[in-house]
């Protein structure tokens, strides 16, 4: 999947359906950034080579526990700067990233760092700016379906401090980014992270009929398809159903 993000910038998704995850390569025709690459970095390298672009920056939205990241390996293979949250305690060299940082990638392309805790305490999102405008945001796992519900409806067994942070992060994204910004999540599509754990049970949303609140427009399971939906930010937030109650389903 590829999309034009404006100002001649292309965003290309690298899907891993078995894990329900996506990595991304964004480029301006000369240089590229990669967000959340998985360990098999040959896919990303082949993609960059096919488009004739040089990878100069690699970004991690968070430390991934559902797959082995290829970020460090990709940065070493390409000589790219490797951006990881400054608050994360890691045992490898990286460029520390913090809320509000602006990374100049090229004369056309830059990346702005946004702190969006919730999926993890140190989760970051990355806003892709081209030609002086925010065209896209890589949200990692910060908009996972089932994790942005109203804090006052949350039970004691679902890590309420993280859920409240995620709720605030989702609304920060909506408030600070233009409605035209495209949303590129990493997790979802059936990933382990899109099924919230609560007291040892999987927590699901009840699917509605197609076209109804809580429904997946494509007709598939809400948990698998809406969890990591790509699209425009207001539409994605509506799809994630803030305020919907949750029910625990038997494993």
Structure confidence by residue, pLDDT tens digits, 195-251: 444 332 222 222 222 222 222 333 222 233 334 455 666 555 554 433 332 232 232
Percent of the chain scoring above 70 in pLDDT:
65
CA distance 176 to 182: 13
Residue 85 structure tokens: 């949250």
Of 67, 66, 24, 28, nearest to 184 by C-alpha is 24
Phi, psi of 239 (to 5 degrees): -65, -30
Task: Look at the chain and count its residues.
Answer: 251
pTM flag (> 0.85): no
35 contact partners, CB below 8 Å, separation of at least 6: 23, 24, 26, 58, 59, 60, 61, 126, 138, 140, 184, 186
- Residue 92 sits in a domain whose CATH number is 3.60.15.10
> What are 42-94's pLDDT values in tens digits?
999 999 999 999 999 999 999 877 678 999 999 999 999 999 999 998 989 89
- Report the C-alpha gap between 158 and 152 in whole angstroms: 12
The count of domains in the chain is 1
Binning pLDDT at 50, 70 and 90, where does residue 192 land?
low
Provide the domain limits for residue 98. Answer: 2-248
């Amino acid at each position: 999947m590829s999309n034009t993000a404006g100002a001649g910038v292309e965003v290309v998704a690298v899907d891993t359906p078995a894990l329900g995850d996506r990595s991304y390569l964004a480029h301006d025709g000369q240089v590229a950034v990669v967000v959340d690459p998985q360990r098999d970095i040959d896919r990303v390298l082949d993609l960059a080579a096919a488009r004739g672009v040089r990878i100069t920056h690699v970004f991690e939205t968070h430390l991934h526990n559902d797959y082995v990241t290829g970020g460090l390996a990709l940065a070493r293979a390409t000589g790219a700067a490797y951006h990881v949250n400054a608050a994360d305690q890691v045992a490898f060299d990286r460029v520390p990233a913090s809320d509000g940082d602006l990374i100049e990638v090229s004369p056309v392309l830059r990346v702005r760092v946004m702190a969006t805790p919730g999926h993890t305490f140190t989760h970051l999102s990355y806003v892709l700016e081209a030609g002086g405008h925010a065209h896209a945001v890589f949200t990692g796992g910060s908009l996972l379906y089932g994790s942005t519900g109203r804090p006052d409806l949350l039970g004691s067994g679902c890590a309420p401090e993280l859920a409240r942070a995620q709720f605030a992060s989702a609304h920060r994204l909506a408030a600070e980014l233009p409605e035209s910004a495209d949303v590129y999540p990493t997790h979802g599509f059936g990933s382990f992270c899109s099924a919230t754990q609560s007291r040892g049970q999987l927590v699901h949303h009840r699917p509605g009929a197609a076209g109804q609140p809580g429904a997946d427009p494509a007709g598939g399971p809400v948990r698998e398809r809406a969890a990591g939906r790509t699209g425009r930010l207001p539409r994605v937030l509506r799809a994630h159903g803030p305020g919907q109650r949750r029910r625990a389903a038997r494993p």
